[in-house]
Amino acid sequence: MARDIQQVGVVGLGTMGAGIVEVFARSGLSVVAVEKDDEAVARGRGHLEGSTGRAVARGKITEADQQQLLDRVHFGTDVGALAEVDLVVEAVPEHLDLKRAIFGELDKVCKPETILASNTSSLSITEIAVATGRPGKVVGMHFFNPAPVMKLVEVIRSVVTEQDVVDDVEALVQKLGKVDVTVGDRAGFIANALLFGYLNHAVSLYESNYASREDIDAAMKLGCGLPMGPLALLDLIGLDTAYEILDTMYAQSRDRLHAPRPVFKQMITAGLLGRKSGKGFYTYD
Ligand code: CAA
């Protein structure tokens, strides 16, 4: 029988981490949410308050529901607060050294049976796992943006992940009202391995002035029935995150399809990161 996971932790409260906190808290779980400093904690808290506030404004939840949800989340900067949780999801930026350092720290503070999960989009779960003394309890738990809306969670098992751990995480995903797919440890897993070649190709059309951004997006949205066009989707994902994912996949596959188009670096250098910085391929209020 799957273990009953009641208390969870989330490390990193950017777009994905804050969204994952919301998913857990909406399902009635108690969440310890950790960031590196007070400013980052305030941003994460603001994200959660804003998102649940919009749900109140749309009549999806009441103000009392929102308050109960917020009360279930305990914010802070101390990783030590994760000592008693059953599972931690790490959602910090896509840098292997940073993730390995955090997993090393989590391994020291969390009880031995705690499952340590990474929300990485493309980095190796195996390389993260071996930074701990419990590689069998390390797994990938990959949510999609926006986490409160997208139904899928990819569960990534390394060659040493214990089957019980995979079973427990799959059961948790279902408890969250989401759908799990299980996949081995290969850059991009399933969805990003298929999606990012397409997104990179769209950027190449844009870069060569082959068509306007609006027409590229309209073609895929209206011609192919996708919820949004590729350039609008890149703005949602964040150009820095998309670049890291492509770069990791390219390093592993050496497939030119995944070689990040030059305009990514130029836009990132200019601070055009997409929605999170107010400007990417499009401008946001
Ligand atoms: N946080 C929380 N809820 C959100 C949200 C957000 N950021 N954005 C939208 N929503 C909610 C809205 O509140 C609304 O909820 P209700 O139906 O309960 O009222 C619902 O989503 C629909 O929103 P809208 O009506 O405002 O807009 P929409 O119908 O155009 O949908 C969208 C917006 C869900 C983003 C949709 O355009 C979509 O599905 N886009 C594709 C997203 C996608 O492909 N994501 C995967 C990216 S790849 C990835 O994430 C992997 C990775 O590793 C980078």
ipTM of the complex in this document = 0.94
In this prediction, residue 31 carries a pLDDT of 98
pLDDT in tens, 236-266: 999 999 999 999 999 988 999 999 999 999 9
Measured by CA distance, the residue closest to atom 1 of ligand 1 is 146
- CA-nearest residue for atom 47, ligand 1, is 145
pLDDT, residue 284, reads 97
Atom number in ligand 1 closest to CA 58 = 19
Q: Mutate which of 22, 66, 125, 149 to test ligand 1's pocket (most atoms within 8 Å of Cβ)?
A: 149
How far does residue 33's CA lie from ligand 1's centre (Å)?
23
Calculate how far, in angstroms, residue 148's C-alpha sits from the geometric centre of ligand 1: 8
Do the Cβ atoms of 173 and 144 come closer than 8 Å? no
Instruction: Write the pLDDT tens digit of every residue in 64-94.
Output: 999 999 999 999 999 999 999 999 999 999 9
State pTM to two decimals: 0.95
Residue 52 reports pLDDT greater than 90: yes
**Which of ligand 1's atoms lies nearest the C-alpha of 241?**
54
Å from CA of 237 to ligand 1 middle: 11
Angle among Cα 221, 19, 284 to the nearest 5 degrees reads 50
| Residue 122 binned pLDDT confidence (cut-offs 50, 70, 90) | confident
* Residue 3 Cα to ligand 1 middle (Å): 31
Closest residue by Cα to atom 37, ligand 1, is: 227
Report the first-to-last Cα separation within the chain, whole angstroms. Answer: 48
CA-nearest residue, atom 13 of ligand 1: 55
236 CA from centroid of ligand 1 (Å): 9
Residues whose beta carbon lies within 6 Å of some atom of ligand 1: 51, 54, 58, 60, 121, 144-146, 148-150, 192, 227-228, 233, 237, 241
Mean pLDDT of the chain: 96
